[in-house]
C-alpha cells in the first residue's frame, strides 16, 4: 500500500467518524423537535404558556420562546423538515467517506452519484423547503409568521457539488480505463 492511499484512508476515516457524530447529533435534535410538537399537541396546557406577549414551548427536553402559537408550530415544522434533509446529506456523506476509508479509492462511480444526490438535496433544502414552507404557512396560518427565505449560499454550494459530481464521474471513468489498461 502506498503512502497516498494510506493518507486517503486515514483522512476518510476521520471524516467518516465526524459525519457519524454530526448525523447522530442532528437526529437527536430532530427527535427533540418532534417530541416538542407531540408534547404540545397531547398536553397543550402543560406544554405551552404565555409570558410577556411570548408563547413558550416547554417539553421534557427543551424550553423555547416564540411570538405566537402559530410561530411556534411553523418554526418547529420548518426546522424538522430542514433537519430531515440535512440528516440525509450527512448520511450520504458518511457513506462516501466510510467506503473510501475501506477501499482507499476515491474515484468510484457510486461516489459521483452520491455527490450528485447530495447536491440535489442541498437544492431542495435551499429552495424547495423554504418555498413550500412559506406557501403552507401563508395558506394555513398567518403571513407575518414566516421568516424563512431561499438560501442563496446553499444553492451556490449545491451547484458547486453538482460540478464536483461531474469531476468525480470523470475521475471514476479515468480510473476504470487505467485499471483496464493494467
pLDDT 10s digit of each residue in the chain, 182 long?
578 889 999 999 999 999 999 999 999 988 888 887 787 778 776 666 666 666 666 665 566 676 667 777 777 788 888 899 999 999 999 999 999 999 988 889 999 999 999 999 999 999 888 887 777 766 666 555 555 678 889 999 999 999 999 999 999 999 888 888 86
Are 70 and 144 within 8 A, CB to CB? Answer: no
The pTM score is 0.81
**What distance in Å separates the CA atoms of residue 79 and residue 64, rounded to the nearest whole number?**
13
- Could you give the C-alpha distances from 180 to 104, 108, 113, 114, 174, in angstroms and in order? 18, 14, 22, 24, 10
Which pLDDT does position 161 carry in this prediction? 95
Amino acid at each position: 500500500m502506498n503512502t497516498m492511499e494510506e493518507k486517503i484512508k486515514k483522512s476518510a476515516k476521520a471524516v467518516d467518524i465526524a459525519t457519524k457524530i454530526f448525523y447522530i447529533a442532528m437526529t437527536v435534535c430532530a427527535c427533540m423537535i418532534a417530541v416538542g410538537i407531540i408534547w404540545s399537541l397531547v398536553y397543550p396546557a402543560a406544554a405551552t404558556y404565555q409570558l410577556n406577549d411570548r408563547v413558550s414551548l416547554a417539553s421534557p427536553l427543551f424550553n423555547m420562546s416564540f411570538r405566537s402559537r402559530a410561530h411556534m408550530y411553523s418554526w418547529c415544522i420548518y426546522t424538522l423538515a430542514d433537519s430531515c434533509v440535512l440528516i440525509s446529506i450527512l448520511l450520504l456523506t458518511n457513506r462516501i467517506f466510510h467506503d473510501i476509508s475501506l477501499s482507499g479509492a476515491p474515484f468510484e462511480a457510486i461516489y459521483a452519484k452520491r455527490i450528485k444526490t447530495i447536491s440535489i438535496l442541498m437544492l431542495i433544502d435551499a429552495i424547495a423547503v423554504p418555498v413550500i414552507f412559506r406557501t403552507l404557512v401563508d395558506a394555513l396560518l398567518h403571513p407575518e409568521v414566516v421568516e424563512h427565505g431561499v438560501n442563496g449560499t446553499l444553492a451556490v454550494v449545491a451547484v458547486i457539488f453538482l460540478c464536483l459530481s461531474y469531476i468525480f464521474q470523470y475521475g471514476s471513468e479515468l480510473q476504470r480505463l487505467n485499471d483496464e489498461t493494467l
